[in-house]
Every structure is written in structure tokens, then in C-alpha cells.
């Protein structure tokens, strides 16, 4: 699956990414698009609602060390069956993550990312 980058019109590739939610829970296997040219990241539209529900679930159950997004998303389960490679979360990608979270409208998570960025700047 590929799509065109909204920034530079190059090809974006689908991959599975690890997200860190509220500094305590690793959400593995989140499908995202990445542009090989400008490094623009985008959440796959089909899983946006699944991710929102997954976050609601995390708020209800409290802290967990790691979960797989595949438990919350049929689309992701399908992807996992055909894909074993993963790219691990990089601290330099906090700003990308911030933009992603902004598109989800999760202000609490946004605030937490800003706090984390502040700490790493000190
Ligand atoms: Zn691009």
C-alpha cells in the first residue's frame, strides 16, 4: 500500500511504528505512512478511529507497559500478517508524534509530549 505525500508528492510507504503513550505505555504496531523523500509521517486514515478507541481503553485500564495495536484494530491485524519488520521509536521523532497527536485531538497527550520535550532540552 502506497500513497502520495501531501507535502512533496513523493511516494509514501506503509510501515508499523511504535508509539509511546503518556510516557508509560508502548503501543506497538501502529500503521503509518512515511515519505521516503521529506520524512513526513502520517497516520493511516483507516485506523484513526481504532486508535482513538485504543486510547480511551488505555485511560480506563490505567498504566500498562506495552500493548499491541493489533488487539484494537482489524486493519492492523491484517497488516501484521504480511509484515514483520518494525521501526523503533526515536526520540528525535517527538515533533512528528506531536503533530500526529494534534490530528487526533488528544490534548492531554499533547501536553505530555511538550513536557517530555522540555525535559530533554534541559
Ligand atoms: Zn514527502
Ion ligand 1 residues within 5 Å by Cβ:
5, 7-8, 10, 35, 37-38, 40
Where in the chain are the domains? 2-90
* pLDDT at residue number 82: 60
> How far, in Å, CA of 99 to CA of 101, rounded?
5
Which residues have C-beta within 8 Å of that of residue 96, sequence separation ≥ 6?
41
Report the separation in Å between the CA atom of 9 and the middle of ligand 1, taken as the mean of its atom positions.
6
pLDDT tens-place string over residues 2-32: 889 999 999 998 888 999 998 889 999 999 9
Report the separation in Å between the CA atom of 12 and the middle of ligand 1, taken as the mean of its atom positions.
7
- Please report the DSSP string for 71-118 in residue order: GT-HHHHHHHHT----B---GGGHHHHHHHHHHHT-HHHHHHHHHHHH
* pLDDT at residue number 97: 79
* pLDDT at residue number 88: 41
Nearest CA-CA partner of 89 in 15, 7, 8: 15
Report the separation in Å between the CA atom of 24 and the middle of ligand 1, taken as the mean of its atom positions.
31
Q: Is the pLDDT of residue 49 over 90?
A: yes
Report the separation in Å between the CA atom of 5 and the middle of ligand 1, taken as the mean of its atom positions.
5
* pLDDT at residue number 98: 81
User: Burial, 99: exposed, middle or buried (Cβ in 10 Å; 0-12, 13-18, 19+)?
Assistant: middle
Residues facing 12 on adjacent strands: 3, 35
pLDDT tens-place string over residues 61-86: 888 889 999 999 988 887 777 654 44
What mean pLDDT is predicted for residues 84-101? 63
Amino acid at each position: 500500500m502506497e500513497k502520495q505525500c501531501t507535502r512533496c508528492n513523493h511516494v509514501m510507504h506503509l510501515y508499523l511504528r511504535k508509539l509511546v503513550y503518556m510516557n508509560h505505555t508502548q503501543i506497538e504496531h501502529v500503521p503509518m505512512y512515511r515519505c521516503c523523500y521529506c520524512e513526513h509521517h502520517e497516520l493511516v486514515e483507516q485506523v484513526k478511529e481504532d486508535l482513538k478507541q485504543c486510547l480511551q481503553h488505555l485511560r480506563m485500564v490505567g498504566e500498562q507497559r506495552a500493548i499491541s495495536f493489533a488487539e484494537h484494530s482489524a486493519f492492523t491485524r491484517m497488516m501484521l500478517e504480511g509484515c514483520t519488520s518494525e521501526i523503533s521509536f526515536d526520540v528525535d521523532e517527538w515533533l512528528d508524534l506531536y503533530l500526529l497527536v494534534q490530528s487526533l485531538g488528544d490534548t492531554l497527550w499533547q501536553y505530555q509530549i511538550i513536557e517530555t520535550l522540555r525535559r530533554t532540552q534541559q
